[in-house]
């Protein structure tokens, strides 16, 4: 067992940290503290992205032939933590969800034509995309049960249905839509992924959904969409017909590792802010907040939970690398709910430590607290992952649990 981070990776993380401090945090201050909209910031974001490209730090997870850094999975996990320290980190370095996941599946399953039209400009950061699976009228935690259909007509698919919480649909160039193409097939073989350019007639952007008081815009938003006789060529099918769930599983496994490491980055940032405040806020002359035992306990609990979370995620990433997604599915589910819970607890302690200041947008804490509550819901709610883990364990004890 070797806990040493290779010196090359350390050097890379140091370079990224330097860019985060010099270029990303100042932009974050404008975005969060001054409450500017995402779209108003885009020209500034573009400049920063260009300079990150020039520094050779663009798209850490993307293969080199597509203009990325082509990092190994475990190295990218560590980079993801570093970028997670700011809500803008992944976006500015070209590693943001849902584009990162869409890139992966387009790279693996896309036809040459799909790669030219969608994958290459996406990898260069010239366009954005979204992933449209969850529906308002169907439980997202049972993704095999979808209402949206794609019916063949001539050389086209005609798509009908409603979707919501399609992150970053506003301003996206295309959506990857999950729709039922084979209703008579077994549940896991019913749906397919289909690429739909957002300019297609019948692709209706209904609204940006206000989430925790903020409807956001452009990349930083979640949309409700309607597909109304939305017609695309059958050549827009991604992978095999009926293969949607298989591709979704491949997309979600590594995606959960990236999310978890991003959340650990958020934890570290919140921890830093909490400790700085504990060390400097005087509650009586000469007595900083950090002299109180309760605050010390929050600091110690947070340190232990973050360390545990990181080790669990890196172990899951290592297992995916060595044994594959299928063998690692228990570890993936464990980290998904454990890290999301740790994130929520660490953010809550940090807000509490800052008192009223923690409720303001003078620090990134309040924004992170609002936005990251969703971590326990998206990519599978806590309860679903816990059930996956417990069912697998109990199987070893001879119990079938449904
Ligand atoms: C911020 C955010 C971004 C998102 N981005 C996207 C996106 O880009 N694309 C996309 O397609 N979707 C996206 N989603 C949707 C997300 O994947 C779903 O919200 C998630 O799968 C849960 O589905 P649901 O909301 O329909 O909850 P439901 O399935 O209705 O479940 C509600 C609650 O019931 C409980 N529950 C559910 N199943 C079980 C069970 N088996 N046992 C015990 N309890 C259970 C859980 O507590 C769960 O939270 C996003 C959601 C959020 C909040």
Sequence spans of domains, the chain: 7-102, 129-238, 245-395
pLDDT of residue 14 exceeding 80, the answer is yes
Nearest to 105 by CA among 240, 211, 221: 240
Query: What is the distance in A from the centroid of ligand 1 to the CA of 254?
Result: 18
pLDDT higher than 90, residue 249: no
Backbone angles phi, psi at 193, to 5 degrees: -100, 130
pLDDT at 346 over 80: yes
Instruction: Judge whether 57 and 16 are in contact, CB under 8 Å.
Output: yes
Q: Are 194 and 149 in contact (CB under 8 A)?
A: no
| Domain 129-238: assigned CATH number | 2.40.110.10
Task: Tell me the CATH class for 245-395.
Answer: mainly alpha
* Domain at 7-102: CATH architecture: Orthogonal Bundle (1.10)
133 close to ligand 1 (CB < 6 Angstrom): yes
Whether 238 has a pLDDT exceeding 80, the answer reads yes
Assess whether the C-beta atom of 401 lies below 6 angstroms from ligand 1.
no
- The per-residue pLDDT of the chain, averaged, comes to 96
Q: Tens of pLDDT along 168-224?
A: 999 999 999 999 999 999 999 999 999 999 999 999 999 999 999 999 999 999 999
**CA-closest residue to ligand 1 atom 26:** 140
User: Average pLDDT, stretch 134-139?
Assistant: 98
131 lines ligand 1 (CB under 6 A): yes
Which residue of 132, 222, 377 sits with most ligand 1 atoms within 8 Å of its CB, as the best mutation to test the pocket?
377
Residue in 381, 389, 390 to alter for ligand 1 test, most ligand atoms within 8 A of Cβ: 381
Q: How far is the CA of 353 from the centre of ligand 1 (A)?
A: 31
Residue located nearest, by CA, to atom 23 of ligand 1: 140
Q: pLDDT band at residue 250, thresholds of 50, 70 and 90?
A: confident
Interacting residues of 257 by C-beta distance below 8 A, sequence separation 6+: 73, 77, 80, 313, 316, 317, 320, 332, 335
Tell me the Cα Rg of the chain.
Answer: 22
**CATH topology match: 7-102 vs 245-395:** no
Q: How far is 187 from 138, CA to CA, in rounded Å?
A: 15
Quick: pLDDT tens for 54-98.
999 999 999 999 999 999 888 999 999 999 999 999 999 999 999
Query: CB 173: neighbour CB atoms within 10 A?
Result: 16
Mutate to test the pocket of ligand 1, among 134, 162, 225, 340 (most ligand atoms within 8 A of CB): 134
- pLDDT category at 308 given cuts 50, 70, 90 is very high
């Amino acid at each position: 067992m070797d806990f040493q981070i290779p010196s090359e990776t350390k050097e890379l993380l140091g370079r990224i940290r330097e860019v985060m401090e010099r270029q990303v945090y100042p932009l974050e201050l404008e975005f969060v503290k001054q409450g500017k909209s995402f779209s108003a910031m885009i020209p500034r974001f573009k400049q920063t992205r260009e300079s990150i490209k020039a520094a050779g730090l663009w798209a850490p997870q993307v293969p080199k032939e597509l203009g990325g850094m082509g990092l190994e999975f475990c190295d990218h996990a560590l980079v993801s933590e570093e970028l997670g320290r700011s809500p803008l980190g992944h976006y500015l370095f070209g590693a943001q969800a849902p584009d990162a996941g869409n890139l992966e599946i387009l790279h693996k399953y896309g036809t040459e034509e799909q790669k030219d039209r969608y994958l290459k400009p996406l990898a260069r950061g010239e366009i954005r995309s979204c992933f449209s699976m969850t529906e308002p009228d169907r439980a997202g935690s049972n993704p095999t049960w979808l209402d949206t259909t794609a019916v063949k007509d001539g050389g086209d698919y005609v798509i009908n249905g409603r979707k919501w919480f399609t992150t970053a649909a506003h301003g996206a160039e295309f959506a990857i839509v999950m729709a039922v193409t084979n209703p008579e097939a077994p549940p896991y073989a019913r749906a397919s992924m289909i690429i739909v350019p957002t300019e297609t007639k019948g692709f209706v952007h209904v609204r940006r959904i206000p989430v925790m008081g903020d409807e956001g815009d452009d990349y930083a938003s979640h949309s409700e969409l309607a597909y109304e006789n939305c017609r695309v060529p059958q050549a827009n099918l991604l992978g095999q017909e009926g293969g949607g769930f298989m591709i979704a599983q491949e997309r979600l496994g590594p995606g959960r590792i990236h999310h978890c490491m991003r959340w650990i980055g958020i934890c570290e940032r919140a921890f830093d802010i909490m400790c700085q405040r504990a060390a400097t806020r005087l509650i009586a002359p000469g007595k900083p907040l950090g002299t109180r035992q309760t605050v010390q306990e929050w600091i110690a609990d947070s340190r232990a939970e973050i360390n545990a979370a990181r080790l669990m995620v890196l172990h899951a990433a290592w297992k995916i690398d060595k044994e594959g997604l299928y063998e690692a599915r228990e570890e993936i589910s464990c980290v998904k709910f454990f890290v999301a819970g740790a994130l929520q607890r660490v953010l809550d302690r940090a807000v509490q430590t800052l008192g009223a200041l923690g409720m303001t947008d003078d620090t990134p804490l309040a924004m992170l607290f609002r936005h990251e509550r969703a971590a326990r819901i998206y990519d599978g709610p806590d309860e679903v992952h816990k059930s996956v883990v417990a069912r697998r364990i109990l199987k070893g004890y001879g119990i079938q649990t449904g």
